[in-house]
Amino acid sequence: MSELTPSPADVARTLADMMSAAWPTTGDESRQWLTRHGIDPDSATKRTSGRGVGHSWARARMDGWGTADAGWGTFRDEFVGVNWFLWRGSSSDEVMTAAHALADLLTQAQGIPTEAEESTEHGGTWLWLLADHVIIMYAYHGRPRPDGFPAGDACVQLHVDLRERAEAQEEHARAHPAERPAPLAQPDQ
C-alpha cells in the first residue's frame, strides 16, 4: 500500500483524542474544539438545515489530511459529532487496505465492533456502540455494484458521535419522519 494521507494511525489517534476530550456543547465551544482537533471550521463550504432541529456542516479542511473532507452536526443547538470522507482519489485496493487497518486500530483501542459486515456490493461497515460515543465507519470500494450500478469513488466515511445526543437525535427522527434530513452522501468532486 502506498502512503495514504492521513495514515490510518493518524485517524485513530485523532478519534481517541476527540473522545477523551470534554465534548463541546455551544457553538463557540464547538468551534474551539474542532480547531483544537485540526478541523478548520471556517473552511466548511456547505451548511444544511436539517428540516427539524439539527444542522450540519460539511467539506471542511484539515491541514495535512490530503483530500479528506470533515463535517459536523448539531441537534437542538448541541454538538453531536464529527464525520469525514477519507482517501478519495485513491485506488479501491488502497482504500480497502486503509479501511481494514483503521478498523483494526479502532478494535485494538475500543474493543470488538458491535456490528461488522463486509459486502461485495459496497465494501464494509463497522459500528462501535461505546458507553459515551458511537463510531460508524463505511468503506466504499468504488467498484460497480453487482447490478452494474456505479458505486461512486472509493473512500471511507467515518463518524464519531456523542452517544446520548446521537440517540436523542435518532429518537426524534423516528418520531418525526417528515423532518428527517436526507442521509449524508459522498461529497461532490
Extents of the domains making up the chain: 8-179
Give the tens place of pLDDT for each residue, 121-172: 789 999 999 999 999 999 999 887 777 776 789 999 999 999 999 999 889 8
Say what the alpha-carbon torsion angle 18, 21, 22, 26 is, to the nearest 10 degrees.
Answer: -40
Provide the grid cell at 96: 480497502
Say how far apart CA 43 and CA 22 lie, in whole Å: 23
Give the C-alpha separation, 144 to 150, whole Å: 5
pLDDT band at 54 (very low <50, low <70, confident <90, very high): confident
Backbone φ and ψ of 66, nearest 5°: 55, -130
- What's the whole-number average pLDDT of the chain? 89
| Separation between Cα atoms, residue 189 and residue 130, nearest integer Å | 33
Query: pTM of this prediction?
Result: 0.88
- Is residue 48 scored above 60 in pLDDT? yes
Q: Are 140 and 157 a contacting pair, CB within 8 Å?
A: yes
In tens, the pLDDT along 15-43 reads 999 999 999 998 899 999 999 999 999 99
